[in-house]
């Protein structure tokens, strides 16, 4: 790396050095730099956690969200990556892959010392994707001055199997005045080859993921004290609430939309057409005209918070075309499922399966 003296038209070679020689630490120096300026890694990232303590007691260096709503696990090493940094990061990513949106909001709120509502708003403003895509995928960025050859080999191999893992080198240099310069360089994937790699990965995924949305919605019909699937079937509705994050999801549905109802851990249980907008449960009438909360519902506390617009249970009227009890739910290994209340159903194999079971 050279420093340019424009007046003298000279190149002054900078001296390579090690972070350890300068007394700089991973946690107290390099980590702080990246936290304040994550763009040094080559993209816009929203830092949502630092030194995140996992159940194992291990600490995840930095946890971020990228513009496509993926979680990004950043693992830092000082001068040498060692021979197993990729495995360490994979374990962290595996754990983070199970984070629900509300857990991500809580983590970010803890990091910012704010409320979960503020955290959710900041995330929605930052990402370019639908909030339903939050943590749909995970990425890993390994950062070090040098990378062990075994790590490089492992990273290249893992990328062949669809793991989005990146190696970014941070090289320190000193000038004649002992001023420190950092040269960031992503070595995997090489920027020049990134477009090719991404196109290849998209092609490989095309067999399992539909390129365009077909218009069908996935809806979670989770059971609990505020709602049951049998109530949904009997009184022709779907419900969600006890927080705007959940009730607002129902408001994405429009009259005439087709939905497939899914019960977590069980399978798909219903197919129907939306007949109304979302209403607070106290204002939702049944076909008989009797308010839903006055009917003999199996759920324990359907009317809890019913006078609170933010916390009330909400309901959307559904014309069920075909339903099954939970005991006869339809599923297969690898079927599409999502933690969100409502999202677009794009998974080609799942669409073919539910069409066969519910439509044809």
Share of the chain above pLDDT 90, in %: 66
332-355 tens-digit pLDDT = 999 999 888 999 998 999 999 999
State the DSSP code for 28. Answer: I
What is the mean pLDDT of the segment spanning 137-144? 96
Which range, 198-202, 226-230, 293-297, is most confident? Answer: 226-230
252 alpha carbon, distance to own chain's centre: 19
What local confidence, expressed as pLDDT, does residue 65 receive? Answer: 98
pLDDT the model gives residue 198: 62
Beta partners for 46? 65
Answer whether residue 220 shows pLDDT above 50. Answer: yes
Predicted pLDDT at 326: 93
Is the pLDDT at 55 greater than 90? The verdict is: no
Classify 281 in phi/psi space as left (phi over 0), alpha (psi -120 to 50) or beta. Answer: alpha
Q: Give residue 245's pLDDT band: very low, low, confident or very high (50, 70, 90).
A: confident
Q: Is the pLDDT of residue 125 over 50?
A: yes
Calpha distance 302→290 (Å, rounded) = 15
What was the pLDDT predicted at 83?
80
Is pLDDT above 50 for 210? Answer: no
Q: What are the tokens at 152?
A: 């490089």
pLDDT of residue 204: 59
Whether residue 211 has pLDDT greater than 60: no
Yes or no: say if 128 and 68 are a contact pair by the CB < 8 Å rule: yes
pLDDT at 170 over 50: yes
Q: Is the pLDDT of residue 301 over 80?
A: yes
Q: What span, in angstroms and rounded, lies between the C-alpha atoms of 350 and 331?
A: 9
- Which is more confidently placed, 296 or 257? 257
pTM of this prediction exceeds 0.75 = no
Q: 189: cis peptide before it, omega within 30°?
A: yes
Q: What is the pLDDT of residues 96-115, one digit of tens each?
A: 999 999 999 999 999 999 99
The per-residue pLDDT for 6 is 93
Mean pLDDT of 269-285: 92
Predicted local distance difference test score (pLDDT) of residue 48: 98
Cα angle at 317 between 315 and 319, to 5 degrees? Answer: 150
CB 109 within 8 A of CB 40: no
Give tens-digit pLDDT for 321-333.
999 999 999 999 9
């Amino acid at each position: 790396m050279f420093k340019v003296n424009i007046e003298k038209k000279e190149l002054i070679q900078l001296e390579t050095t090690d972070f350890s020689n300068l007394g700089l630490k991973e946690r107290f120096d390099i980590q702080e730099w990246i936290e304040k300026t994550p763009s040094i890694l080559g993209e816009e990232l929203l830092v949502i956690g630092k030194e995140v303590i996992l159940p194992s007691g291990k600490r995840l260096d930095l946890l971020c969200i990228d513009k496509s709503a993926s979680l990004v696990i950043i693992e830092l090493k000082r001068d040498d990556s060692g021979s197993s940094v990729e495995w360490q990061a994979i374990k962290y990513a595996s754990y983070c892959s199970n984070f629900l949106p509300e857990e991500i909001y809580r983590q970010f709120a803890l990091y910012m010392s704010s409320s979960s509502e503020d955290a959710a708003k900041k995330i929605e403003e930052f990402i370019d994707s639908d909030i339903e895509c939050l943590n749909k995928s995970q990425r890993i960025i390994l950062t070090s001055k040098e990378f062990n050859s075994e790590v490089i080999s492992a990273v290249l191999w893992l990328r062949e199997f669809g793991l989005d893992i990146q190696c970014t080198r941070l090289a320190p240099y000193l000038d004649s005045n002992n001023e420190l310069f950092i040269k960031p360089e992503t070595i995997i994937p090489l920027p020049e080859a990134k477009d090719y790699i991404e196109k290849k990965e998209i092609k490989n995924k095309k067999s399992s993921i539909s390129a365009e949305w077909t218009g069908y919605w996935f809806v979670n019909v989770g059971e609990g004290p505020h709602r049951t699937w049998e109530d949904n079937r009997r009184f022709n509705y779907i419900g969600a609430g006890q927080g705007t994050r959940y009730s607002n999801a129902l408001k994405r549905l429009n009259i005439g939309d087709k939905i497939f109802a899914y019960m977590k851990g069980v399978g798909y249980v219903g197919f129907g057409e939306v007949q109304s907008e979302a209403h607070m449960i106290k204002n939702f009438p049944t076909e008989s005209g009797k308010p839903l909360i006055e009917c003999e519902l199996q759920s324990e506390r359907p009317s809890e918070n019913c006078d609170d617009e933010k916390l009330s249970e909400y309901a959307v009227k559904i014309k069920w075309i075909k339903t099954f009890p939970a005991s006869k739910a339809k599923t297969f290994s690898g079927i599409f499922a999502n933690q969100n209340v409502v999202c677009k159903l794009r998974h080609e194999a799942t669409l073919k399966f539910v069409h066969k079971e519910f439509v044809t």
